[in-house]
Amino acid sequence: MLTETLKELCALPGVSSCEDAVRDYIRAITAPYADRSYTDTLGNLIIEKKGVSPGTKKVMLAAHMDEVGLMVHTITEDGYLKFRPVGGIDRRVLLGKPVLVGKQKLPGVIGLKAYHLTSGEEARSIPKLTEFYIDIGADSREEALRHVSPGDIVYFDTDILEFGHGFLKAKAIDDRIGCAVMVELLKEPLPMDCTFVFTVQEEVGTRGAFGAAFSVTPDIALILEGTTAADLPEMESHQKVCLPGKGPVVPYMDGGTVYDRELFELLRTLAERGHIPWQTKEFLSGGTDASAIQRTKEGVRVAAISAAVRYLHTPSSVASLEDCQNILILARRFLQAVATME
């Protein structure tokens, strides 16, 4: 079920500030299992579920619904769309990628000056974002404006594919994997009361998590995420960060957070005792909603479990399905352990 839920979530559009389709899907699929479900002012979906006991700690689980994408800002006289990134996107991967534009899901392709027309210097450099455009097949600004407006969101049109030895290729694995794990946990009996927060706008500054944590006010927060894997041939071993297929990633620190030491050790112990393969980051990079949650009010104890994802923030990211399943198992055991804390 986890794999199918993940695939369905990755197929949905959810660029930062336009997470509606993802939120509607999660609300519908979790409705039979929720004791209370509501959407806050920013758009975070907050779901409360009672467990076997209230527990001594207020626990929040968090995963972000949004994905990186693009936004139309100008339409040229020739009918091409100029755009800005929403979230951190590597412009090297944009050329030739199919996209869908706006609520109408208008198909388009990201274009650039033809290679045979570039100078030697241009051919050796990475194009600037201002040099790219989206071709929607319009032959004038007037025609394009009948279908598209500045401010329209653009998301990548990517096929979802299982391939190789248990790998999944899809857009938005960061962080639909965290969302999928939380959906599956909501379907199960819980050892204690928990609040599940599906956050918005993580990719543009962890904005949703800050507001949600302020209202939920948890004692402990577990963040479920996707994180950078750089296990590529040209990388030194210490720069590979983490490896898909080698188990969930349990970070002790990243670019935005130093995680609670006791909770880090708890996750490590649970993994080792349960014979769950696990790893930590060998190169500190990136950040999660934990950076916002940790600093809420008097402070929140935070821990994270992540999937190692290749080609993060591109139209075709790659993760291990076995890792995803092990994240679910480890998160389940974490809740069981926290339920017995004094």
Does the CA dihedral 210-212-217-219 come out positive or negative?
A: negative
Q: Please give the CATH superfamily to which domain 69-156 belongs.
A: Peptidase M42, domain 2 (2.40.30.40)
Please say whether the beta carbons of 290 and 221 come within 8 A. Answer: yes
The letter for the amino acid at 230 is: A
| Rounded Cα distance, 195 and 213, in Å | 10
| Rounded Cα distance, 314 and 92, in Å | 10
Residue 108 has pLDDT above 70, yes or no: yes
User: What's the average model confidence in pLDDT over 5-21?
Assistant: 97
Q: In 3D, which of 316, 26, 302, 296 has the Cα closest to residue 178?
A: 26
Q: In 3D, which of 165, 24, 203, 94 has the Cα closest to residue 9?
A: 24
- Give the pLDDT score at 119: 64
- Give the pLDDT score at 30: 98
For the question of residue 265 being annotated catalytic, the response is: no
Residue 41 has pLDDT above 90, yes or no: yes
Residue 250 has pLDDT above 80, yes or no: yes
- Give the pLDDT score at 240: 63
Greatest CA separation for the chain: 69
State the span(s) of the chain assigned CATH 2.40.30.40: 69-156
Q: Model-level pTM? A: 0.94
State the span(s) of the chain assigned CATH 3.40.630.10: 2-67+171-338
Residue 51 has pLDDT above 80, yes or no: yes
- Give the pLDDT score at 219: 96
Q: How confident is the model at residue 208 (pLDDT cuts 50, 70, 90)?
A: very high
- Give the pLDDT score at 17: 94
- Give the pLDDT score at 282: 75
Please say whether the beta carbons of 172 and 15 come within 8 A. Answer: no
Please pick, among 19, 67, 184, 202, the residue that the annotation labels catalytic.
202
278-333 pLDDT per residue, tens = 999 877 777 899 999 999 989 999 999 999 999 999 999 999 999 999 999 999 99
pLDDT: is 124 or 111 the higher one? 111
209-243 pLDDT per residue, tens = 999 999 999 999 999 999 988 777 776 666 667 88
- Give the pLDDT score at 153: 97
Q: In 3D, which of 132, 142, 77 has the Cα closest to residue 108?
A: 132
Residue 117 has pLDDT above 60, yes or no: no
Instruction: Name the average pLDDT for the chain.
Output: 93
- Give the pLDDT score at 193: 97
| Rounded Cα distance, 211 and 231, in Å | 35
User: What's the average model confidence in pLDDT over 110-131?
Assistant: 75
User: What's the average model confidence in pLDDT over 141-149?
Assistant: 95
Hey, what CATH topology would domain 2-67+171-338 get? Aminopeptidase (3.40.630)
